[in-house]
Chains A and B, each alone.
Chain A
Amino acid sequence: MKALVSRGSVDAVFQQMASHPQYLESFLRAQHYILHMDGPLPLPYRHYIAIMAAARHHCHYLVYLHSAHFLRVGGDPLWLQGLEAAPPRLRLLAHINKVLAHQPWLTACSHIQTLLKSGEQCWSLAELVQAVVILAHCHALCSFVYGCDADSDFVPRTKTPNGTPPTFCPFDAANGNTNVPQSLATPSEHKTRRRVTKPLNCIFFAITTHQSHVLTRPFLFLDMEEEEEIICFADPSGFITDPDFCYEEFARSEEDHFQVFRVQDYSWEDHGFSLVNRLYSDIGHLLDDRFRSVSTLPSLHSSDLKRAIWNYIHCVLGIRYDDYDYGEVNQLLERDLKLYIKAVACFPDATKTPVCPLSWALLKTSERIHVNLLIMEARLQAELLYALRAITQYMIA
């Protein structure tokens, strides 16, 4: 794995994560399972949901990535024109996508009820759980992508709208497929891009892959040969509803309306895990693995600091720990670091660049990435907790 990373053959985002290889492994395993392995949702649906989630944060990179995957697994290119073209079942998800992405504390039992209400377009509980996991995963990944963007040594191609889409499955590498040629370091050499503008808010790229080297085939295009692959990349705004909906302070004055979420009453370890594992087998262990590995990463940050970051993110999302003194957050986190964390966790908008805290420059790259990973995982857990609590309430009601 490391060898692959050093050769630059892995996608830039994963490169960043690879400074923490133990974490990368659990991350890739979970992501691969969610998107490609057994599950109630058909593959195109999964990628489409991922597109919807990424579009919420204007994360072009993830939208492109999943558009490509979506087409590769046989998705209907028409759907990529926007949400209106997608089946109504997926459109129903737009609301919970919106809420989870920006104000997860609004997630309510009634949302779940609407989705599960019997009818032509209804979701099954198992499908919904998988959809929610994909949504939360992608929202959190948007935060990470956004956080990484600030990095000076980050390759900017993930941001530019006509960047080269990553066209390989990173998990191949994780599977130990080491038969990768040096030439892959610059995959764009093998492609010429032609641009066709479509009247809809869609930009089509026709990517012609000239692959003279047989060896590249098993890695890049598993079964696509010298054919033109037309990949449709849509503008993210087509996949969302209510684009103005965004994060608001979880104000204390609102506590009357939205009860503070007490971890002691609904925690991942005790409740979330059991529920999610019951409805979508094995995912609990994979997510558990992620949460554990991110918290046990060897790092110079003290465990207090890590806990402060984690709890601070949960705090801005309305989750409180009885056994934590939030005064510690102010002691341990400088103001600009807090601002940064909040920006990355709550406003990961790829069209802007996060303001880096001053102390940032002093930190090693891997430490910075570590903070970003913490943000991602904390956010993932927060969204999952809210969604799963709503599902639990639905099941009891």
Chain B
Amino acid sequence: MEKMSRVTTALSSNAISGRTMFCHLDAPANAISVCRDATQVVVAGRNIFKIYALEEEQFVEKLNLRVGRKPSLNFSCADVMWHQMEENLLATAATNGAVVTWNLGKPSRNKQEQLFTEHKRTVNKVCFHPTEVYMLLSGSQDGFMKCFDLRKKESVSTFSVIQISRNTPLFSYIPDDLFHTLFLGQSESVRDVQFSMKDYFTFAASFENGNVQLWDIRRPDRYERMFTAHTGPVFCCDWHPDDRGWLATGGRDKMVKVWDMTTNRAKEIYCVQTIASVARVKWRPERKYHLATCSMMVDHNIYVWDIRRPFIPFATFEEHKDVTTGIVWRHQHDPHFLLSGSKDSTLYQHMFKDATRPVDKANPEGLCFGLFGDLAFAAKESLISSDISRKPYPGGDRRYPIFFFKKPDPTEQFAHVSSALSVFETDLDSNRMDWFVKTAQLYLLSGKPFAELCDHNAKVAKELKRPQVSTTWTMLRIMFSDPANLTAPGTNHNLSKLGTLPLMNSFNMKEMGTGMGTESRLERSKGESRQDNIHLEPGNLHISNNNEENEETEGSEGQAEYMFGDAELDDDDLYSMEHDNQTEEQEYTLPQEAFQLRHEIVDNPSAPEHLQQDKADSPHVSGNEAEVTCLTPIESFSLISISQPLFSPHLPASFFCPIVREMLSYYAEQGDVQMAISVLIVLGDRIRKEIDDLTQEHWYMSYIDLLQRFELWNVSNEVIKLSTCSAITCLNQTSTTLHINCSNCKRPMSNKGWICDRCHQCASVCAVCHHVVKGLFVWCQGCSHGGHLEHIMNWLKSSPHCPAGCGHLCEYT
């Protein structure tokens, strides 16, 4: 360590060392520059102008160049540069337009050497010639670049953005002042000037209007070459330290571009898109493809890019809290140290090894859905084990498509990730949305009593093999039907297929009918069934009615029974049991509990008697065992007689609302917004208030959107019509205006009424009845006569000729 630091102080160029460190400045920095041997750095800003020594562990303030009680604006620096040949020489660009040089070798406190006040506006940039000691270039807001010979008091040449030759006869008589006013006052500001590293006479200048110019220092009359590099100002440019033809530019348009200047026309060879306007760009020493950038606004980080990888920074330094204003590589042959100054009044030395590598955090997996449901998935090859079942892609070996194959470049330091791309083809059947379309078409949302709607929809769902949805519908009917209405002429439909829900069955005894495919389950329940002596005729309306009666009577009686029953505790138990079941029902499981329940109920001494009596009383119950499914009712019956009384008197429909709300959210979350909306509409006021309007609106919008994608216009319109959200109902009133032209004179029909303003004729008259057609108008494409749809239909049934009498043989298909 000791040795190392000695080496450092011994100014050996290859052995600088240090660590990531920072120091607080007193004021925001505008620019920094480093001396040739990389031991000192100068920081300049509006209120700061200091030199710091770079020590092993810290920055040490060496010199404050800002002297005097009330420093003049000459000290307010926009830019600073340390001469790379002469270690005592610095130049600053002042915001008031002065260009100042400083000689550190001066014995006095004020190190100011020369002051050039030739620029009228802020000087944005100063630049020493890399090899010529006395040559200094400046670029200013006033549109001029001036070249100074430091041995003289004035600039030696002036380069102007606008090229108007004073020798043109037209301009020759104009006095100098006026000429400047007329043409140069509106010239474009110079944002950056940079001497070429390799070509002795060349320098590049970038401008506020997006142009970059190349100049020969010996020819101030016109530029060698000009091209538009960016839209908007080009804030910075930098010559490649090794490759003479490369120039990097950065602009307000958030781009960094690398230009090849060796060809006739400047050619853009690389382009990096950053996230904010680019304030500075600096090539990284010893790394051909790397450059560092910082931004002028919003983004405070410093990025180092590999220009061949323009999408993700190679390294990031995230230390600054405000925009970074100056970046410089500490030594021109050492790529590991980066210095930066910022508006947050700090000066940093960044070690490259401490940089964040965004590529490590980047997600190397990609996932994308294809148009027809195919799924493409790319992941690191190491992650995807050699899966034998993969079949080669029809398009050849897709693991190495020819155009992705890239020879690994040893200079490129990006970790090479080779990914395997898998394409999963969808099983067409499993992913088809047929069910959605069919459901949408077949569901009934209104126009019938509530219970019927539920039954219908449950049936639809069942036929589409969606048992869960079907069950939900049935449950809803049970929950929300008024007990008095339970008998609503139930369409015979069968739930028992979902034998997992015995309780449900028990409620729906009137529906039991044609239980297909339930036999096995029934067989089982048969064995357990205790009351098998009573059979119902399935699908019998009488029975339904009868059941209703039964239920009602049971309702009252049952309650009474319990009231008088000796076991009040039992009663409670039953209640809690019912509750449990109720919630579990939501999850569609558990036959066991339900059976257990039944047993418990049955164990209640009073219940069976009661039941039996009831059943015996009901006149329509038949002993006919002919039906295969007749056993279901029995079991159900036994249940309903008990559970019904437990429920209906005590649990109003609103009791279920929270559960139903949860269920709707569940469906919506699952992506089945169709179910959520259908239930919402069918339940109507029963549930609407439970769900906040925004959610409802969101569901409606999603569902309507889906319907429209499947071109189910009618259904979507019905849904819109049935919705209660004002935002939705107004949907089908948009763009409902129909502009018509008069059929006679072809002019637009201007306003209400069916008589054309212009020709005072009725528009669109029916050829049959000679009245105005105000609805569907059908016309023959051959003779263009037409009229009311019905009239034309009827007419053409009886006559093949056009009703208008034009003789055309119209056809109605």
Whether A associates with B in a native complex is yes
A-side interface residues toward B, CB under 8 Å? Answer: 214, 225-226, 262, 264-265, 269-271, 273-275, 278, 295-296, 302-304, 307, 322-323, 392, 395-396
Q: Are A322 and B298 in contact (CB under 8 A)?
A: no
Closest B residue to A273 by CB, please name it. Answer: B252
Closest A residue to B183 by CB, please name it. Answer: A303
Q: Are B76 and A274 in contact (CB under 8 A)?
A: no
B-side interface residues toward A, CB under 8 Å? Answer: 46, 73, 76, 78, 94-97, 119-122, 141, 181, 185-186, 189, 208, 232-233, 235, 252, 276-277, 296-298, 321-322, 750-751
18 contacts across the A-B interface (CB closer than 8 A)? A225-B751, A264-B78, A264-B95, A265-B46, A269-B189, A269-B208, A273-B232, A274-B276, A278-B276, A278-B298, A302-B181, A302-B185, A322-B95, A322-B97, A392-B297, A392-B298, A396-B321, A396-B322
Chain B residues near A303 (CB-CB < 8 A): 181, 185-186
A271-B297, A274-B298, A396-B322 known; A264+B46 contact, CB < 8 A: yes
Chain A residues near B97 (CB-CB < 8 A): 322-323
Give the CA-CA distance A217 to B233 in the complex, in Å. Answer: 45
- 9 closest pairs, A vs B, by CB? A303-B185, A322-B95, A264-B95, A274-B297, A323-B122, A323-B97, A322-B96, A274-B277, A323-B121
CB contact between B96 and one of A265, A323, A395 (< 8 Å): that residue? A323
CB contact between A269 and one of B94, B121, B233, B750 (< 8 Å): that residue? B233
Give the CA-CA distance A198 to B727 in the complex, in Å. Answer: 33
Candidate in A225, A264, A271, A396 with the most chain B CB atoms within 10 angstroms = A264
Chain B residues near A262 (CB-CB < 8 A): 46, 95
Chain A residues near B185 (CB-CB < 8 A): 302-304, 307
CB contact between B186 and one of A225, A264, A295, A323 (< 8 Å): that residue? A295
Q: Are B122 and A322 in contact (CB under 8 A)?
A: yes
Known: A271-B296, A307-B185, A323-B122. 9 other contacts (CB 8 A): A225-B751, A269-B252, A270-B296, A275-B297, A303-B186, A322-B95, A322-B97, A323-B96, A323-B97
Give the CA-CA distance A396 to B321 in the complex, in Å. Answer: 7
Q: Are A323 and B95 in contact (CB under 8 A)?
A: yes
Give the CA-CA distance A265 to B96 in the complex, in Å. Answer: 12
Chain B residues near A271 (CB-CB < 8 A): 296-297
Give the CA-CA distance A265 to B76 in the complex, in Å. Answer: 11
Give the CA-CA distance A307 to B73 in the complex, in Å. Answer: 20
Chain B residues near A395 (CB-CB < 8 A): 298
Give the CA-CA distance A269 to B322 in the complex, in Å. Answer: 19
Q: Looking at the assembled complex, report how far the CB atom of B182 sits from the nearest CB atom of chain A, in whole angstroms.
A: 8
Q: Looking at the assembled complex, report how far the CB atom of B638 sits from the nearest CB atom of chain A, in whole angstroms.
A: 56
Main secondary structure of the interface of A (DSSP, over half): helix
Chain A residues near B73 (CB-CB < 8 A): 322
Give the CA-CA distance A317 to B252 in the complex, in Å. Answer: 27
Give the CA-CA distance A395 to B295 in the complex, in Å. Answer: 15
Closest B residue to A225 by CB, please name it. Answer: B751
Give the CA-CA distance A75 to B277 in the complex, in Å. Answer: 38
Q: Looking at the assembled complex, report how far the CB atom of B613 sits from the nearest CB atom of chain A, in whole angstroms.
A: 63
Chain B residues near A295 (CB-CB < 8 A): 186
Chain A residues near B751 (CB-CB < 8 A): 225-226
Q: Are A274 and B252 in contact (CB under 8 A)?
A: yes
Give the CA-CA distance A318 to B577 in the complex, in Å. Answer: 78
Q: Looking at the assembled complex, report how far the CB atom of A82 sits from the nearest CB atom of chain B, in whole angstroms.
A: 27
Give the CA-CA distance A323 to B751 in the complex, in Å. Answer: 65
Q: Looking at the assembled complex, report how far the CB atom of A343 sits from the nearest CB atom of chain B, in whole angstroms.
A: 27
Q: Looking at the assembled complex, report how far the CB atom of B362 sits from the nearest CB atom of chain A, in whole angstroms.
A: 24
Give the CA-CA distance A278 to B276 in the complex, in Å. Answer: 9
Give the CA-CA distance A364 to B77 in the complex, in Å. Answer: 42
CB contact between B122 and one of A225, A264, A392 (< 8 Å): that residue? A264
Chain B residues near A304 (CB-CB < 8 A): 181, 185
Closest B residue to A223 by CB, please name it. Answer: B737
Closest B residue to A296 by CB, please name it. Answer: B186
Closest A residue to B98 by CB, please name it. Answer: A323
Q: Looking at the assembled complex, report how far the CB atom of B757 sits from the nearest CB atom of chain A, in whole angstroms.
A: 9
Chain A residues near B296 (CB-CB < 8 A): 270-271, 274
Q: Are B76 and A264 in contact (CB under 8 A)?
A: yes
Q: Looking at the assembled complex, report how far the CB atom of B442 sits from the nearest CB atom of chain A, in whole angstroms.
A: 39
Give the CA-CA distance A273 to B277 in the complex, in Å. Answer: 10
Give the CA-CA distance A395 to B321 in the complex, in Å. Answer: 11
Give the CA-CA distance A323 to B96 in the complex, in Å. Answer: 4
Give the CA-CA distance A278 to B750 in the complex, in Å. Answer: 46
Give the CA-CA distance A273 to B297 in the complex, in Å. Answer: 10
Chain B residues near A225 (CB-CB < 8 A): 751
Give the CA-CA distance A21 to B85 in the complex, in Å. Answer: 54
Chain B residues near A278 (CB-CB < 8 A): 276, 297-298
Give the CA-CA distance A226 to B750 in the complex, in Å. Answer: 11
Chain A residues near B119 (CB-CB < 8 A): 323
Chain A residues near B121 (CB-CB < 8 A): 323
Give the CA-CA distance A302 to B186 in the complex, in Å. Answer: 11
Chain A residues near B122 (CB-CB < 8 A): 264, 322-323
Closest A residue to B322 by CB, please name it. Answer: A396
Q: Looking at the assembled complex, report how far the CB atom of A299 sits from the nearest CB atom of chain B, in whole angstroms.
A: 11
Give the CA-CA distance A274 to B232 in the complex, in Å. Answer: 10
Q: Looking at the assembled complex, report how far the CB atom of B706 sits from the nearest CB atom of chain A, in whole angstroms.
A: 27
Closest A residue to B296 by CB, please name it. Answer: A270
Q: Looking at the assembled complex, report how far the CB atom of A252 sits from the nearest CB atom of chain B, in whole angstroms.
A: 14
Q: Are A323 and B298 in contact (CB under 8 A)?
A: no
Chain A residues near B141 (CB-CB < 8 A): 323
Closest A residue to B300 by CB, please name it. Answer: A396
Chain B residues near A323 (CB-CB < 8 A): 95-97, 119-122, 141
Give the CA-CA distance A322 to B77 in the complex, in Å. Answer: 11
Q: Looking at the assembled complex, report how far the CB atom of B26 sits from the nearest CB atom of chain A, in whole angstroms.
A: 16
Q: Looking at the assembled complex, report how far the CB atom of A256 sits from the nearest CB atom of chain B, in whole angstroms.
A: 15
CB contact between A322 and one of B76, B235, B277 (< 8 Å): that residue? B76
Chain A residues near B120 (CB-CB < 8 A): 323
Q: Looking at the assembled complex, report how far the CB atom of A389 sits from the nearest CB atom of chain B, in whole angstroms.
A: 11
Give the CA-CA distance A396 to B46 in the complex, in Å. Answer: 20
Give the CA-CA distance A130 to B248 in the complex, in Å. Answer: 35
Give the CA-CA distance A273 to B232 in the complex, in Å. Answer: 10
Give the CA-CA distance A273 to B298 in the complex, in Å. Answer: 12
Candidate in A225, A226, A270, A392 with the most chain B CB atoms within 10 angstroms = A270
